Structure 1
């Protein structure tokens, strides 16, 4: 899975889900969260699994095993109190869901020490206007209106406002440039 774009990068191409697969687990991510899928020893039941979340650590142990399946520092902080896990008996895996503290960035790896994915090749999920804060949403909506106006050959909202302000002062704008005519 190593990147072979000829650029000499040693980073991995992201898998579907913008994560990667290691010899111990696979992981996926969105801007807001990260999910790890950890293979379990055959016959492992949920009551045999212990998952400990820290703000920057994740520890997974199974009763009867001397070494943890995972005991590593995470790439970045998570909201430990919101961490969740479940055993998928059909797949024989432990699914661990973690919410990122910085819910607006991609992680190049799930835990420290693992190979990094090439973040330039991440395929972000589509956003909805309703997901944006009020100020950002207003800006995006304005940009969409201006794009439609330009496509229709009409002045943008800023050009329209400049023309209205100039008219109030008794000026005429020069050819839509926004500069007062002489």
Structure 2
């Protein structure tokens, strides 16, 4: 068995993370656009000369591809999306900037609302999605099913921290209590919950 190199120390790991973050920031800064994302959507902006209008742009958004740029020029972005989107819910606008010039804004509505993207198109450099710290969202912003799931997770976390049973364990205990009531003749003294 070959000797494995020693694992990096906490300080070395911090330096490696810092170097990786710096490289990532440089790669992202070199792109002709800026982009941000929430868990459910993605927004992209690119500077456009102030004398241009929407009709001067070529923007195509499909379920799996994105192409945007000035007609007759090399596209600002052109490629395959890493994950599908809802093209009917995705939009683009051309907005004037206070500093002069204009900005192309593209909003992509992700099909999977529970997935971080590591890049806008697969040909672009990736970001480390494990380092994303999502902004706090309000429970009221979530759809019913997701909200219920999050509330259950939060309840179970509070119960665990307090040393009490989770919601699933409470259901099992309640079923056992009812069963005991219905069968008083049975001896449950040696029963364990597993």
Give the match for residue 27 of structure 1: 35
Query: Any unmatched runs of 5+ in structure 2?
Result: 1-12
Q: Distance in 2 between matches of 1:58 and 1:34?
A: 12
Q: How many correspondences in the alignment? A: 171
1:112 maps to: 122
Judge which range, 163-172 or 132-141, deviates more.
Answer: 132-141
In the alignment, structure 1 segments of 5+ residues that lack a partner are: none
Partner of 1:128: 139
Pairs within 5 Å for 1:4-83:
5-7=14-16, 12=21, 21-63=29-71, 65-83=72-90
Listed one character per residue, the Cα deviations across residues 43-101 of structure 1 (whole Å, up to 9, x for unaligned) are 333332221112221111324x4322222222222222322111121163100011112
Q: Pick closer, same or farther for the CA change 1:26–1:130 going to 2, 3 Å.
A: closer
Post-superposition shift, 1:32? Answer: 1.6
- CA distances 1:145-170 after superposition (whole Å, capped 9, x unpaired): 79459849799623243223223222
Q: Are residues 122 and 50 of structure 1, via their aligned partners in 2, closer, same or farther at CA, if it must alter by over 3 Å?
A: same
Cα distance change on mapping 1:69 and 1:128 into 2, 3 Å: same
Q: How many Å separate the matches in 1 of 2:15 and 2:83?
A: 30
Matched residue of 1:35: which SS?
strand
| Structure having the larger proportion of residues in helix | 2
Residue in 2 that maps onto 1:86: 93
What is the deviation of 1:131?
2.4
- 1:7: how far off? 4.5
**Which deviates further from its counterpart, 88-97 or 122-131?**
122-131
1:176 Cα deviation after fit: 10
* Secondary structure class of the residue paired with 2:178: helix
Deviates more, 1:39-48 or 1:111-120: 39-48
Higher mean C-alpha displacement, 122-131 vs 135-144 = 135-144
- The answer as to whether partners of 1:45 and 1:89 remain within 8 angstroms in 2 is no
